[in-house]
Amino acid sequence: MSELHDLTATDQLAALRAGEIGPVDLAKHYLDRIARLDGELGAFVEVTADAALARAASLGGREPEGALWGLPFADKDLVPRAGVPTRFGSRLHREHIPDATADQAAVLDEAGGVSLGKTNTPEFGLTGYTETQIGPPARDPWNTAHGAGGSSGGAATAVAAGLLPLAPASDGGGSIRIPAATVGVVGIKPSRGRVPFASGQDSPGGLSVAGPIARTVADAALLLDVQVSGRAHPYATAAPGAGPFLDAARPGAGTASARVGVTTVSPWDDADDIRLDPDAARAVEVAAALLTDAGTAVDAFDWRPHGYAELFMTLWRTSAARMALTDAELDLVEPITAWLVREGRRLTGVQVLDALAAAAVFERDTISAFAPFDAVLTPALALPPQPIGWFDASDAARNFSQQVRYAPYSSFVNVAGLPAIVVPVTVDAAGHPVSVQLIGRPGGEAAIIALAATLEERRGPLPHPPAWRA
């Protein structure tokens, strides 16, 4: 029997606008699922049921207004919302309740969305897995012994398990794409400069941007359109190209004329022991074949980047070093956080400037190398989902290496400022989805969304995790 969460977000929105369901009914449906199921999943760190129902009730009896009118979502626990605990995944902020709402949340409110609470994130969003000292980990709904990835692990878990129709997220080194690929949903990392309130322009190296996580390519495009259009751009320049990106999510929209390069090379290959799982390699082969069948020109791409690891590690440590943590507080945070901050504060100004210069060269070289293609197809992850506790909780250097080996195809996209989307295309022997990544040109979200929609259509329906029918 079909239930409300079986509908896509775009279908739920259409039903809301047609009066077939009401905002309160939809909010209650998801709140009930969260109450029943999230204890085993760890998607949420705060559920604001009363506020959500009041918000949904305030929308009832009015003409639908806004691109997300009545649609539930949840804020990532790095995004302040006035009056709601915002802990940043850290015990240092266990009691923190902000007075103001950040643009990332306000934009979705203004579009008519209904926030149900806060989704789980690692401490300060610094890691590609979501396991903290202050609460349960975010788990993969397909196998709850495994982690959901990070840093938007809670958001991805909630979407995959049918606890939310879609979710806002953020990505500084893969934090949208890693969890989305881990649990088998869609995640979009936009171009640098694309999303006004989280463009990357004001972070070291221009790394961190906001983007969507959803079950389908069209649903992700819907949320991306809201994130892009919700604020005036505060900078003199923005990413080129224009939406609405939902139009690009029609299967076949421009894919027959597209050219796609295929590589399984990562920029970490010369710095760490990167081993590609056979299921991940097979997903790339299947995706290439599906696109070829759709009329897309698909070619092997010989890409050999060098010297990436040092520049990224310097940028990541520099970002951590900027956090206002005292020496006493560094004794209370997680070992990986303390290590990144302390290592970052040991860097000299010359080392940071050299890394920024190297990143600019890497960006230019990567864009030039990718220029012949509308998109470059890579694995989304190198390894399958890993058990909770697999990432070393005490040896921070080993922990960082493990994150690299798990997801070596993510962070370089942030350094280059390019858009990317992950989409599941195959399943492994256990029935778990396996995803690929499509990386676009600067401002090329429409092209990769169209290609991902074609993959989605041609691969056919995928199974749902066990929690879906619970």
Q: Is 189 a catalytic residue?
A: no
pTM of the model: 0.97
Number of domains, the chain: 1
Cβ neighbours of residue 315 under 8 Å, at least 6 residues apart? 204, 205, 207, 355, 356, 359, 415
| Marked catalytic residue, from 90, 151, 191, 435 | 151
- Domain span at residue 381 reads 4-469
Rounded Cα distance, 64 and 67, in Å:
9
Which residue among the candidates 175, 191, 203, 208 is catalytic per the annotation? 175
Task: Indicate which residue of 76, 115, 266, 435 is catalytic.
Answer: 76
How is residue 131 written in tokens? 């396991």
Nearest to 71 by CA among 246, 250, 219, 248: 219
The yes-or-no answer on residue 76 being catalytic is: yes
At residue 230, what is the residue type? Answer: G
Torsion sign, CA atoms 413, 257, 10, 223? positive
Pairing mode, strands 143-147 and 166-171:
unpaired
Give the C-alpha distances (Å, rounded to integers) separating 294 from 289, 298, 426.
Answer: 9, 10, 17
Number of H helices, E strands in the chain: 15, 13
β-sheet bridge partners, residue 214: 166, 186
| Backbone torsions φ then ψ of 10, nearest 5 degrees | -65, -35
Question: In what helix (H) or strand (E) does residue 376 lie, and over which residues does it extend?
Answer: strand 375-379
pLDDT by residue, tens only, the chain of 470 residues: 589 999 999 999 999 999 999 999 999 999 999 999 999 999 999 999 999 999 999 998 777 889 999 999 999 999 999 999 999 999 999 999 999 999 999 999 999 999 999 999 999 999 999 999 999 999 999 999 999 999 999 999 999 999 999 999 999 999 999 999 999 999 999 999 999 999 998 888 899 999 999 999 999 999 999 999 988 887 767 777 767 999 999 866 767 789 999 999 999 999 999 999 999 999 999 999 999 999 999 999 999 999 999 999 999 999 999 999 999 999 999 999 999 999 999 999 999 999 999 999 999 999 999 999 999 999 999 999 999 999 999 999 999 999 999 999 999 999 999 999 999 999 999 999 999 999 999 999 999 999 999 999 999 999 999 999 99
> Residue 243's pLDDT is what?
76
Burial readout 15-48 (b: 16 or more C-beta within 10 A, e: otherwise): bbeeeebbbbebbbbbbebbeebbeebbbbbbbb
**CATH number of the domain bearing residue 276:** 3.90.1300.10
Q: Are 210 and 231 in contact (CB under 8 A)?
A: no
Does residue 257 have an active-site annotation?
no
